[in-house]
Amino acid sequence: MSDPAWERQVAAALAVYGLADRLSGTRLLSLSENATHLCAFTHTADPLVLRLHRPGFRTLPQIRSELTWIERLRTDGAVATPAVIRTPSGDLAATFPGAGGEQHAALFAFAPGTEPDETDFAAVMETVGRETAALHTHALRWTPPDSFTRPVWDLGNLIGAASLWGVWRDNPDVRAVPDGEAVLARAEHKLTAELAAYGTGADVFGLIHGDLRAANLLVAPGRVSLIDFDDCGTGWFLYDLACTLSFVEDDPRAEEWVAAWLRGYERSRPLGTADLRAVPALVMLRRLMLVAWLHKRGDTEFAAATRPGFAAASVALARRFLADAYLTGVRRETA
């Protein structure tokens, strides 16, 4: 869907909130699974963030479930995340006629902060690990309502035939890399075996954010806010660690970042040997999903800018993973 098609839906969505006539300006913040706009209004100096959902990507019950968890996280003081703005009728999400049928939107309070870049990771990752542990602790203690429904992020839904983003083999860039398809296939086989051994017990597999990459972290003095829970679901808790390395898994500083994240996380939620051994496999899993994502979402500016060289770098990363030469510091800790 093109940018203009998204833009036309802003007024229709805000009309559900009774705010369309007060809109003074919008700015597109991101276009990926959804289109997220910063909206300014005539009656207040405080902007709001409007998320327009890609039609067919999430069901209304799934969107409401995500927003239910966000509200509970805020009520319980578990992590910092922007408030959900309900519609005048009290609904968590807005539904309105879109170009291709029914469309949904969510509205959030604006949260201050900036997205960290690689130069900030060493300083911020320990805080992110700490906040992620608080998120997981809440998930383990919270009993969702019976209506709660979110995706299950197992192998089939992340990189298998059921994946919303296709599979990495769909990306033609892989075939352009010498032995690329064979290397990634061996990496997939290895991570599948390792994660099968790790298992999906309640202590390692539960409700997670599912997309804690840099774009979904807002860093402000003394705090990190977690935003965009649109990919939240049931998955490996340490998949949230893998997500923080999204698109920079092959950076030479990745091991330093992982170590910092683990320091923060283990302050309140200690990990065992099996958990640490699973980290390289989970990072490789995320990387394979992103190879598919870049092809599936090639219509976005970010994907177009990131795609060149990504498949080749992913194959190189997979070779290290196959040789047990990736994140070796984590592996040494498990010896």
* Predicted confidence (pLDDT) per residue in 189-205, tens digit: 999 999 999 999 999 99
Spatial separation of the C-alpha atoms in residues 16 and 12, rounded to whole Å: 7
Which is higher by pLDDT, 221 or 228? 228
Q: Can you give the pTM of this predicted structure?
A: 0.94
Q: What is the mean pLDDT of residues 11-16?
A: 95
Q: Which helix (H) or strand (E) holds 295?
A: helix 273-296
Residues 256 and 136 in one domain: yes
Spatial separation of the C-alpha atoms in residues 159 and 191, rounded to whole Å: 11
What is the reported pLDDT for 276?
97
In the predicted model, what is the mean pLDDT of the chain? 93
Residues 100 and 158 in one domain: no
What is the reported pLDDT for 181?
98
Q: What is the mean pLDDT of residues 267-282?
A: 97
Asked if 125 and 257 touch (Cβ cutoff 8 Å), the reply is yes
Out of 82-96, 100-114, 270-284, which region has the weakest mean confidence (pLDDT)? 100-114
Spatial separation of the C-alpha atoms in residues 167 and 41, rounded to whole Å: 42
Residues 131 and 43 in one domain: no
- For residue 218, give the nearest of 120, 296, 300 by alpha carbon: 120
Q: What is the mean pLDDT of residues 36-65?
A: 95
The CA–CA distances, whole Å, from 112 to 186, 221, 229, 313 equal 43, 10, 17, 34
pLDDT tens column, 82-95: 999 999 999 999 99
For residue 159, how many other CB atoms are within 10 A of its CB? 26
Judge whether residue 332 has pLDDT over 50.
Answer: no
119 exposure class (CB count in 10 Å sphere: 0-12, 13-18, 19+): exposed
Percent of the chain with pLDDT over 70: 96
Residue 229 tokens, joined:
């829970």
Of the residues 60, 83, 109, the one at which a domain ends: 109
Which is higher by pLDDT, 182 or 119? 182
Q: What is the mean pLDDT of residues 241-253?
A: 96
Residues 180 and 309 in one domain: yes
Helix axes 273-296, 310-322, angle to 10 degrees: 160
Q: In the 3-class helix/strand/coil scheme, how is 251-294 assigned residue by residue?
A: CCCHHHHHHHHHHHHHCCCCCCHHHHHHHHHHHHHHHHHHHHHH
- For residue 247, give the nearest of 218, 280, 208, 214 by alpha carbon: 214
pLDDT tens column, 179-189: 999 999 999 99
What is the reported pLDDT for 4?
62
Asked if 198 and 236 touch (Cβ cutoff 8 Å), the reply is yes
Q: Which helix (H) or strand (E) holds 172?
A: helix 172-175
Residues 200 and 61 in one domain: no
Residues 227 and 155 in one domain: yes
What is the reported pLDDT for 8?
76
Spatial separation of the C-alpha atoms in residues 83 and 175, rounded to whole Å: 44
Residues 165 and 261 in one domain: yes
Of the residues 109, 140, 173, the one at which a domain ends: 109
What is the reported pLDDT for 331?
59
CATH number reported for the structural domain that contains residue 56 in this entry: 3.30.200.20
- The number of distinct structural domains making up the chain is 2
Residues 43 and 128 in one domain: no
Judge whether residue 3 has pLDDT over 90.
Answer: no
CATH number reported for the structural domain that contains residue 255 in this entry: 3.90.1200.10
Residues spanned by the domain of 21: 3-109
N- to C-terminal Cα distance for the chain? 49
- Identify the band that residue 298 occupies on the pLDDT scale cut at 50, 70 and 90: confident
